[in-house]
Amino acid sequence: MKSSEPEQNSHLNPQNLEEWGRRFEEYRAPLLRLASRNMCAVLTQRVSPEDAVQMALADACQKIPYFERKPEIPLYFKLRTLLLQTITDLERCHLKSQKRDAFKEERISDSPGTQTEAWLGWNMLADSISSPTQHIRHEERDALLRQALEELPENDRCILQLRHFDGMSNQECAEILQIEPKAASIRYVRALQRLRDRLVALSEFHR
């Protein structure tokens, strides 16, 4: 999900803040799974996924205006962006590594030696749909996959992110997106085909 830097909270009464806090807590479990999938082993020796989620949720309570904007975007996607940014900041702090800003684009791949479950999930996806890119170096393939994903419509990106980046089931995707499971399944199949078509087109261009 793409987003600008959130604004600091400046105008909430305690009751509203408490309500937002309850809404945030509803997503603690999927956020914890997301953190576990995206934090490398070296980082988890210093900061646990639980700590990363708690930091993100605490930060969320200070950035309510960010969550009030664009109400059509499911709350989970805004929280996941904030969590990925928290993980990026932790990596910069503890591992001294330069990572892409999660508020700017999806983190599809990390450098060798820091592979995560999310990294493996995206590579499995790339391997399954990118036969035309076999002649392309791994780094170029990742860049093509990122470009193809960014060029997809918002709905397509969301369902693919949930399935392959967050490791969610079709039922969980439907709940997050507030649609029927059958609709989520259809949306996923269509998004996967569009991604495949776009990746093939980009691969042909890079031959």
Question: Torsion angle, CA of 110/104/189/155, rounded to 10 degrees?
Answer: 160
Q: What is the pTM of this model?
A: 0.74
In this model, does residue 123 exceed pLDDT 90? no
In this model, does residue 121 exceed pLDDT 90? no
The pLDDT value given to residue 16: 86
In this model, does residue 106 exceed pLDDT 70? no
pLDDT, mean of residues 91-99:
75
What element of type H or E holds 135? none
Which candidate, 146, 206, 158, places its Cα nearest to that of 183? 158
Which candidate, 116, 31, 118, places its Cα nearest to that of 77? 31
Q: What domains sit in the chain, N to C, each tagged with a CATH number?
A: 1-105 (no CATH), 116-207 (1.20.140.160)
Distance CA 142, CA 161 (A): 15
Q: Is pLDDT larger for residue 17 or for residue 103?
A: 17
**Residue 171, exposed/middle/buried by CB under 10 A (0-12, 13-18, 19+)?**
exposed
Q: Is pLDDT larger for residue 147 or for residue 54?
A: 54
Least confident window among 72-86, 126-140, 171-185: 126-140
3-class DSSP state for residue 158? helix
Distance CA 83, CA 188 (A): 24
**Axis-axis angle for helices 117-129, 181-205 (nearest 10):** 70
CA atoms in the 13 A half-sphere facing the CB of 157: 18
pLDDT digits (tens, 9 = 90+) for 134-192: 555 666 777 788 888 889 999 999 999 999 889 899 999 999 999 999 999 999 999 99
Q: What is the mean pLDDT of the chain?
A: 81
Distance CA 188, CA 155 (A): 9
Least confident window among 74-78, 81-85, 114-118, 141-145: 114-118
The pLDDT value given to residue 88: 92
Q: Is pLDDT larger for residue 160 or for residue 204?
A: 160
